[in-house]
A and B are shown apart, each in its own frame.
Chain A
Amino acid sequence: MKCKKCKQKAVVSGLCKDHFVKSFERRFYDCIAKYKLIKKKDKILVAASGGKDSIVLLYLLSKKYKVKALAIDEGIHGYREQTLKVLKEFCEKNEIELTIKTLKKEFGYSLDQIIKKTKLRACTVCGILRRYLLNKDRSCDVIATGHNLDDEAQSILMNVLKNQIELLARLGPKTGVIPKKIAKKHFIQRIKPMYFIPEREIMAYAVIKKFGVSFTECPYAYDSFRSSVLEGLNLIENKNPGTKMNIVKNFLSELPNLKQKYKQGRVGQCSRCREPANKQLCSACQMADRMKKLLKARKPL
């Protein structure tokens, strides 16, 4: 098959290497402009894991903006070491400042230790503690994450299938339903510059640019519901190209109404750590208390 724009061989999405790279980068920066994700003087923190999404995100943002990377080392044996190695090498080569925070140092225990000693679900603990550490970084104006079109289409569909429509209001290229005035103090804007880019194209871009990619998978990655949605969506997309984009576009046209309808009320502060919280304690401090009890540890978490 020939490229749609020239006589070279097409390699992905009907385009040759050169035209694909151009189209990919144009869509990336267009999304930032269209949704006003970044202001000129913004300091950007990239939540990086070393996976292909965060590497491509870091690469394209650092070409035009000032960025720093923050990675959380949860302490997942046989997995995180590998993706962090890729990330460290990438940041060194591209002169990007990288900070790595470990759960062990911040909370006293690695994820592996917590899971071994408690019956808590790995992804629940991991998600809460990771979000907490990201939110704590106040040296930036926005936090960019590597969420792509596939992630978003899956999340939308999952919330619909589980009848959790109110959670839809939290999705979108710019997240947070917290009113602006309060948000400034409590919540740093999250942005998803790869919002409209399919996962397959991100991998193609990483391969063409010869970024190292690690093919390990988190041993705890077992959200069976997300996996079935992912698989089903890919089957439909293969037969009906454009399905994922349709889901996301459809959702975006409804998002203003959803935000209006499910406006989050007043956001308080955690009485212990001053992070945003709906209850007296934020979810991370609650989690820490639960872990402490379960681990019967003398050492405070």
Chain B
Amino acid sequence: MKIIIKKAGKKEITKKFSGTGKKLLEELKINPEEVLILKNNELVDVDARLTDNDNIEILSVVSGG
């Protein structure tokens, strides 16, 4: 799974994963309260199931400045 994390710039990681968004965030040590998840360019709930073929974007909702 390709994961792009957008927070003050962009970070790209590749990771084997399938499970819920919540689980993914837990593994990445990210608080669900601070991000949104896009699955293949669509906003999804943290309970949504993600598979290894999905393109995932994790958007930080916390602004600075």
Contact = CB atoms under 8 A, between A and B. Distances in A.
A11 B43 contact: yes
B33 A215 contact: no
A225 interface: no
Interface in A44-80: 49, 51-53, 76, 79
Contacts of B42: 11
Which of B33, B34, B44, B48 counts the most A-chain CB atoms under 10 A from its CB? B33
Nearest to A146: B63
A111 to B, nearest CB: 11
B31 A235 contact: yes
A220 B8 contact: no
A238 interface: yes
Interface string A224-241: 000000110011011000
Interface string B24-35: 000000011110
B43 A215 contact: no
B13 interface: no
A215 B7 contact: yes
Interface residues of A, number: 32
Contacts, number: 73
A38 B63 CA distance: 26
Interface string B1-14: 00000111110000
Contacts of B61: 199-200, 202-204
Contacts of B8: 215-217
A208 interface: yes
Nearest to B43: A11
Contact of B33 (A1, A200, A216): A200
B9 to A, nearest CB: 7
Nearest to B10: A215
Given A9-B45, A12-B45, A215-B7, A238 B33 contact: yes
B55 interface: no
Interface string A284-298: 000000000000000
B65 A215 contact: no
B38 interface: yes
A199 B45 CA distance: 16
A161 interface: no
A151 to B, nearest CB: 9
A191 to B, nearest CB: 20
B60 interface: yes
Contacts of A220: 65
Interface in B35-65: 36, 38, 42-45, 47-48, 59-65
Contacts of B63: 51-53, 199, 217
Contacts of A202: 61
Interface string A3-33: 0000001111000010000000000000000
B43 A216 contact: no
A207 interface: yes
A231 B60 CA distance: 13
B33 A234 contact: yes
12 contacts: A1-B47, A9-B48, A10-B45, A12-B43, A199-B61, A202-B61, A204-B61, A207-B43, A215-B60, A216-B9, A217-B64, A238-B31
Interface of A: 1, 9-12, 17, 49, 51-53, 76, 79, 199-200, 202-204, 207-208, 213, 215-218, 220-221, 230-231, 234-235, 237-238
